Structure 1
Amino acid sequence: MSETGTTQEETTYRVRVFYEDTDASGVVYHANYLKYLERARTCWLEAHGHSHTALAEQFGIVFTLADANLQFKAPARLDDEIEVVTRVAERRRARIIFEQTIHCKNSLLIQARFTVACVRIHDFRPCAVPEFLQKEMQ
């Protein structure tokens, strides 16, 4: 189960923690937070009317992860309903820097900052983020 909510400045992706997400101690395995955060960034893009597939097919670009920084504050557990909040912190010519948080019942679990680079799909060389996306991030 998952859903997405949107405001002009940020998106919220909600998801339930399933058994497959947890480790032997009953908390979310650390690498699975990266999946939640990636899904939330994809939902951010979709909330702005775009998809990774369409950007690749129509404009020949993809976004690739250039930097990731996570701070683990508290664990999520089986059956928790978590919220991943995503917002653009900074825009550059060929990069977008996202700030994301994961919450459960108003408790901060994860603070994260990701830099994604816009690259041409045919050679993975950096290129400018399309103008229409730049405008939507203002």
Structure 2
Amino acid sequence: MAHRFSIRVYYEDTDLAGIVYYANYLKFIERGRSEWVRALGVDQLRLKEEQGLVFAVRRVEADYLSPARYDDMLVVETMPEAVTGARVVLAQRVMRGDDVLFAARVTLAMLAASGAPVRLPADIRRSFGGG
């Protein structure tokens, strides 16, 4: 089931042409991912403070399909595609109503405080839908 997060486009999100600046879609989907993780009961700050673990984006594949504009109400959908011991692959979409404006496939990894990749803790993997 997809997690949905609403966001409004503000003036600061737009470029000279009055449409959402392309890099801001990455910010929108980051917020959507953060809210998805929160909704699953994972406290990222506590995870960092107590275990020294953080999520990092390893790869993004993005398609810009149609522009969003100032004052649009958008929805960021986040849905896990694959969860393994070492990574999470998410499908994310930014939508205005039924129209998909932006679609991305995002691969997340977990890093230790040293910056080295580590396996996802079993409880987190399970909460994300992995075995």
User: Structure 2 length as normaliser, TM-score?
Assistant: 0.95
Name 1:92's counterpart in structure 2: 84
Q: Does 1:132 align with 2:119?
A: no
Distance (Å, rounded) in 1 between the aligned partners of 2:86 and 2:104: 20
8 Å CA contact 2:40–2:127 kept in 1: the answer is yes
Q: Map 1:1-138 to 2 at 5 A.
A: 9-121=1-113, 123-138=114-129
8 Å CA contact 1:17–1:79 kept in 2: the answer is yes
Instruction: Structure 1: state its 5+ residue gaps.
Output: 1-8
8 Å CA contact 1:42–1:51 kept in 2: the answer is no
Deviations 1:76-121 (A, max 9, x none): 0000000000011111211111110110021110110111111111
Matched to 2:68, the amino acid is A
Matched to 2:75, the amino acid is E
> In the comparison of the two structures, how many residue pairs are matched?
129
Instruction: Structure 2: state its 5+ residue gaps.
Output: none
* Residue identity (%): 33
Superposition RMSD in Å: 0.9
After TM superposition, where is structure 1 displaced by more than 2 Å over at least 4 residues in a row?
none
Q: Name which of structure 1's ranges 76-85 and 126-135 shifts more when overlaid on structure 2.
A: 126-135
Matched to 1:125, the amino acid is A
8 Å CA contact 1:117–1:126 kept in 2: the answer is yes
User: Structure 1 length as normaliser, TM-score?
Assistant: 0.90
Matched to 1:136, the amino acid is S
Q: Which has the higher contact order (CA 8 A, sep 6+)?
A: 2
